Amino acid sequence: MDIYKILTKLPHRYPFLLVDRVLAIEKGKTIKALKNVTINEPFFPGHFPHRPVMPGVLMLEALAQAAALLAFDAIDSGATDDMVYYFAGMEGVRFKRPVEPGDQLILNVELLRMKAGIFKFKTSATVDGALAVEAELTCAMRKIA
């Protein structure tokens, strides 16, 4: 799935769209996506000027966006103006290595369960095969009144 298809599925836009491409998707099961991390990212001048590092919360957000793509694909939908996809929880978050400009962050997400608009995922992100972050994420789809 290229960036143009991603833009039809996710409501996020620059500078907050953190998935550049979907490499593989198995409907209702797994997704593998990537985020190209460049020196031009808007957060690098402040995090940190002397040694730029991608903030951990943004690594988790990238994983959540990949999870949203998997969830939308599982229910044959996409983001709409009357629905929002929220973080509902994070468990077992572990950061294992810094992510720096020039890295390709590979986002791996497995759907563990879904029920009544609540989705639970096992996620990890790697750089050159080395684990950068792992977490279990819970997300919820809710209609906007």
Q: Which two tokens stand for residue 92?
A: 């077992």
**Amino acid, single-letter form, for residue 82:** D
Beta-bridge mates of residue 125: 107, 133
Domains of the chain: 3-143 (3.10.129.10)
d(CA 104, CA 61): 15
d(CA 2, CA 91): 30
The answer to whether the CB of 131 falls within 8 A of the CB of 124 is yes
pLDDT, position 7: 93
29-68 tens-digit pLDDT: 999 999 999 999 999 999 998 999 999 999 999 999 999 9
**Amino acid, single-letter form, for residue 45:** P
Active site residues: 47
Q: Which two tokens stand for residue 39?
A: 């020196």
